[in-house]
Amino acid sequence: MEKTIADEIQDSPNDIQHAREAVAAEHEQTVKDALRTHYKAVFWSLYLSMAVVMEGYDTSLIFSFFGLPAFAKRYGTLQDDGLNSLSAPWQSALGQGAMVGQFFGLIVTGYAADWYGFRRTAAVACILNAAFIFILFFAPNVETLFAGQVLLGMPLGVFLTLTTVYTAEVSPLALRPYLETWVNICWSIGKLIASGVLRAYSEDTKEWAYRVPWAVQWIFPPFIILGVYFAPECPWWHIRQSDVEAARESLLRLSTGIPEEEIRNTLSQMILTNMQEKEAQSGTSYWDCFRGTNLRRTEICCLAQTMQPLVGFALVLWTTSFFQLQGLSASDAFNLSIGQNSLGFVAGILLWFLMPRLGRRTIYL
């Protein structure tokens, strides 16, 4: 029987040497060379990362609704000043509802992606996202809105993790900082789209002023599902499933003009890395993250991840309502919100030029 490439790699006595050659080649590759040989991987990373636009859009949407007259009239109550508005507890509940759903979505993603792969997990999340939008679009009261926000947050949480993991696993090392930064830029794009849509309806007092922004969300899932259908699966997932032949096919679909020898070297590196990860995980638990030298790694990771909320991420979401409380009209408040979100987009683009020169740590400081 004819041997497959998987059999040849696993039977080869030079696996370690081939893996070393793959690592050396990856570190020596320039951005220009990576773009030439992996433009397909760049395309799929950029395309599928746009799923995060949905998260940025929805997160900005619900907070901005609090400053929308039509929304306050429909779901709020009459206040002492003669205006309708949602009570502070309900504003907090609606604002954090999606966050609660995202928390559970983030937990589920790790297991689902390991079991079913990126493509199937992303497709199911898109379908759930489209289904849960119906709850928000037809919500008769604020309680239903809260339930819809929690449920919608779950598939949005899936995309927050899944897109970053996919980008990291399919993109070459030289392009990884740029493509991972694109995920954050997509989040800013979502907020910017939400601000623009709401600005268009800021003076409208009819129910479509908040229904249309909800309906806009139905544009995103079909767009992402189309990409998921044609996109190659992560080669690393195939390696973890012991399907080396499928991993090879994914590598070929993600690259062009790469010699067969380099593909084999990359597969050898992936197989050995997967074996080392399994050995490292054997007999360990999450408690080991808080012991010995691992404790310092855990502290660094936690601090880096908390940078966004510590610099006022949560407060930024309330800016539209804050501007109105300071006396600005609804249209002016949304204009400022558009400007603010535009700055976030520009900052993400600037990071592409700063990161290679300054590094992540310097930029953080």
Q: What's the rounded Cα separation, in Å, for the pair 301 and 299?
A: 6
Which DSSP state fits 84? E
Tokens 């003669």 correspond to what residue? 82
Instruction: Reduce the DSSP state of residue 85 to 3 states and report it.
Output: strand
Q: How far from 116 is each of 111, 153, 241, CA to CA, in Å?
A: 8, 21, 10
In this prediction, residue 314 carries a pLDDT of: 64
Residue-by-residue pLDDT tens, the chain, 365 positions: 445 555 555 555 456 776 777 777 777 888 888 889 889 999 999 999 888 888 888 888 887 787 777 888 888 776 666 667 778 788 888 888 888 898 899 889 888 988 999 999 999 999 999 999 999 999 989 899 999 999 999 999 898 888 888 998 898 888 888 888 888 888 888 888 888 888 887 777 788 888 998 999 999 999 999 999 999 999 999 999 988 899 999 999 998 888 888 888 888 888 888 888 777 777 677 788 888 888 998 988 888 878 777 776 666 666 776 776 677 776 777 777 777 778 878 888 888 888 878 877 788 77
Q: What's the rounded Cα separation, in Å, for the pair 141 and 1?
A: 66
Torsion-angle region of residue 25: left (phi > 0), alpha (psi -120 to 50) or beta?
alpha
Dihedral sign, Cα of residue 201, residue 82, residue 321, residue 60: negative
Binning the chain into helix, strand and coil, the percentages to the nearest 5 are: 80, 0, 15
Q: What's the rounded Cα separation, in Å, for the pair 337 and 194?
A: 10
SS3 sequence, 209-255?
HHHHHHHHHHHHHHHHHHHHHHCCCCHHHHHHCCCHHHHHHHHHHHC
Joined tokens for residue 273: 């890395």
In this prediction, residue 29 carries a pLDDT of: 80
Q: What's the rounded Cα separation, in Å, for the pair 14 and 140?
A: 66
- On whether the CB atoms of residues 56 and 190 are closer than 8 A, the answer is yes
Q: How far from 360 is each of 165, 302, 365, CA to CA, in Å?
A: 18, 15, 9
Angle of helix 176-200 versus helix 142-170 axis, rounded to 10: 150
In this prediction, residue 127 carries a pLDDT of: 94
Report domain 48-231+294-364's class.
mainly alpha
In this prediction, residue 82 carries a pLDDT of: 60
In this prediction, residue 222 carries a pLDDT of: 92
- On whether the CB atoms of residues 268 and 19 are closer than 8 A, the answer is yes
String of DSSP letters for 303-355: HHHTHHHHTTHHHHTTHHHHHHHTT--HHHHHHHHHHHHHHHHHHHHHHHHHH
Joined tokens for residue 325: 């409380």
- On whether the CB atoms of residues 170 and 234 are closer than 8 A, the answer is yes
